Amino acid sequence: MIRSTLARYLLVGVANTAVGYGVILILQLQLGMHAVVANAFGYAVGLLVSYALNRRYTFRSQRGHTTGVPVFVASAAICYLLNVAVLQFSINVVGLRAAISQALAICAYTFLFYIANRYVVFSRHGA
């Protein structure tokens, strides 16, 4: 059993990414859906998987879905905006290459969303 919530969170991240990407590929390649639309559906499915697995497995939260889901979605949106800010800053201000900037932005998103999930979304006090 993995004891660390961070390790479980990262494992859930791999799972939700794989599921989301699988949905994208099926919709785009098998059903002929436009890439952008398939991407949106894949991300939505991945976000649902992330919520479900993080709620039950990572943080073992008892928080109800009616309050948990909106806070989770808002936290994901805020962390995504911060991801974009890190990306833009590292490219346009610091002058890093796009690939390096993307990696930094992904790390920032992952860390910030973990903190949001642990201390806000699935906090024992937020239930």
pLDDT digits (tens, 9 = 90+) for 62-85: 999 999 999 999 999 999 999 999
Q: Are residues 34 and 87 in the same domain?
A: no
Residue 107 has pLDDT above 80, yes or no: yes
Pick the last residue of a domain from 36, 60, 84.
60
The string of DSSP letters for 20-60 reads: HHHHHHIIIIIT---HHHHHHHHHHHHHHHHHHHIIIIIS-
- Amino acid, res. 62: Q
Q: Are residues 70 and 30 in the same domain?
A: no
Domain that includes residue 56, residue range: 1-60
Query: Residue 50 burial by CB count (10 A; 0-12/13-18/19+): exposed, middle or buried?
Result: buried
Residue 126 has pLDDT above 90, yes or no: no
Q: Are residues 85 and 126 in the same domain?
A: yes
Would you place residue 3 in the very low, low, confident or very high pLDDT band (cuts 50, 70, 90)?
A: confident
**Residues whose CB falls within 8 Å of the CB of residue 19, separated by 6 or more in sequence, listed in order:** 45, 46, 49
Q: How many domains does the chain have?
A: 2
Residue 127 has pLDDT above 80, yes or no: no
Q: What percent of the chain has pLDDT over 90?
A: 93
Residue 125 has pLDDT above 90, yes or no: no
The two tokens of residue 4 are 């660390």
pLDDT digits (tens, 9 = 90+) for 24-68: 999 999 999 999 899 999 999 999 999 999 999 999 999 999 999
pLDDT at residue 90 in the model: 95
